[in-house]
């Protein structure tokens, strides 16, 4: 019976080590491919409509001040929109519950 336990423990340890190494190598390879693809793609504006969300890959290193300011402004706009939506939902819920603040 103890030989079965020894084989299970040894197999489990070998599988864990093999899986860890394989997963680490695969993750590193995918990360470099993804990073290379994101940094090498030129950004093109496919639509002039400002209401259409555009995907912009993140800047990992060395972003210019103008890009940082654009990102900050974009985040502030999104936060403002979220706060407005939260306020509207709060108003609607208080009216439904009969606790209108007006």
pLDDT at 22 over 90: yes
pLDDT value of position 56: 63
Contact (CB, 8 A) for 31 and 23: no
pLDDT value of position 9: 84
pLDDT at 30 over 80: yes
d(CA 102, CA 99): 9
Does the pTM surpass 0.75? The reply is no
Buried (b) or exposed (e) across 16-33, using 16+ Cβ within 10 A?
eeeeeeeeeeeeeeeeee
Domain extents for the chain? Answer: 1-41, 63-102
**Greatest Cα-to-Cα distance within the chain, rounded to the nearest angstrom:** 77
pLDDT at 85 over 70: yes
DSSP structural state of residue 58? P
DSSP structural state of residue 52? S
* Number of Cβ atoms within 10 Å of the Cβ of 71: 14
Mean pLDDT along residues 60-78: 81
């Amino acid at each position: 019976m103890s030989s079965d336990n020894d084989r299970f423990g040894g197999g489990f340890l070998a599988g864990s080590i093999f899986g860890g190494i394989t997963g680490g190598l695969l993750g590193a390879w995918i990360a470099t491919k993804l990073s290379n693809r994101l940094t090498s793609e030129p950004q093109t504006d496919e639509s002039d409509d400002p209401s259409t969300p555009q995907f912009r890959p993140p800047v990992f290193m060395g972003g210019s001040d103008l890009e940082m300011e654009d990102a900050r402004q974009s985040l502030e706009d999104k936060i403002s929109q979220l706060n407005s939506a939260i306020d509207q939902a709060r108003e609607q819920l208080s009216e439904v519950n009969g606790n209108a603040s007006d």
